Amino acid sequence: MLAAAGAGVQVGAAIVASRFIVDSVPPLTLAMLRYAIGFLCLLPFALVALRGPHPAPPARDLLAMAALGAGQFGILIALLNFGLQHVAAAPAALIFSLFPLLTMLLAAVLGRERPGGWLGAGVLLSIAGVALSLGPKLQAGPGHGWWGEAAVFASACVGALCSVLYRPYLQRYPTVPVSAFAMLASVVFLAAAALAEGWPARVAALSPTAWAVVCFIGLSSGVGYFWWLYALKHESPTRVTAFLALNPVTAAVLGWLLLREPLPPQMLGAVALIAAGLALATRGPSGGRQARTG
């Protein structure tokens, strides 16, 4: 649970940092740099872990983990970065915190988890918080584009699917090598996709300030996603993703402090609802008793 909480805070901080430079670094290029740095951070630890007496994954598992890595670390972040070009950090983080509900629904549909009443109530409170945060835009009527919000929501859908499908592989193989391999797969995928953005020229033109922010995002992502996968290995997907409710709190506070983004009253109420949802969602049996290994 501590690992899941740390990952939730890291996501919020990375959203604010990405928002800071998303106008100067295109979304696919930023995602590629993020996980290239994250992969380099994890590589030494992955090589040490591979020296242990672990069976080599068959080709089908390697292909599946590569596909999940491209989704979790590539497509998800590219969609999120695109959304952050059009949405402020705090509302984007609140939309992204629909992640737990989507994870719970997918886990139930696929037979991987039997969600309890406290969990469902907590997730519903989180959704109420997201709805409250979007209230002003909903009242504004037509003529206001929703591309940014749709991209952030789509990134949450991708993440929920990958979180549910990751669990069997995390239970078979060491966490750090799985994390590093998934990141490497995402970097290869993103390097090809980001050619359309002219990433070699973009990277060469980055300012020292932009590089500092990119390095922070990459280093924190390497640590954060290790915590994330470690938590998924030991707890049910829905209980782990419930801790993403910490990311809008982090994003709202840091966005206000560092980016001078407004913190209206309804945003504070939304954060309170999501925090209450987190408290409810983490009550009851632990993931080991609640989840099926499938």
Flag the least confident range among 99-108, 154-163, 174-183, 208-217.
99-108
Mean pLDDT value of segment 41-47: 86
- Torsion angle of the four alpha carbons 148, 248, 156, 19, in this order, in degrees rounded to the nearest 10: 40
Q: How confident is the model at residue 281 (pLDDT cuts 50, 70, 90)?
A: low
Average pLDDT over the chain, rounded to whole? 79
What secondary structure letter does DSSP report for 186? H
Name which residue leads in pLDDT, 91 or 200. 200
Express each pLDDT in 200-256 by its tens digit: 998 998 889 999 999 999 888 888 877 877 787 777 766 776 776 677 677 777 877
Residue 234 burial (CB < 10 Å; 0-12/13-18/19+)? middle
Element (H, E) at 3: helix 2-21
Express each pLDDT in 61-81 by its tens digit: 999 999 998 888 788 888 888
Residue 209 burial (CB < 10 Å; 0-12/13-18/19+)? exposed
Give every CB contact of residue 98 below 8 A, 6+ residues apart in sequence.
Answer: 126, 127, 130, 153, 156
Highest mean pLDDT among 156-165, 242-251, 283-292: 156-165
- Scan for tokens 């549910």, then name that residue: 164
Nearest Cα residue to 268 out of 281, 255, 282: 255
Name which residue leads in pLDDT, 280 or 149. 149
Give the whole-angstrom CA distance, residue 16 versus residue 253.
10
Nearest Cα residue to 136 out of 198, 99, 185, 87: 87
What secondary structure letter does DSSP report for 58? P
Give the whole-angstrom CA distance, residue 98 versus residue 46.
31
pLDDT at 138: 53
Give the whole-angstrom CA distance, residue 293 versus residue 168.
6
Q: Is the pLDDT of residue 165 over 60?
A: yes
What is the CA angle 36-39-42, rounded to 5? 155
Are 241 and 103 in contact by the 8 Å Cβ rule? The answer is: yes
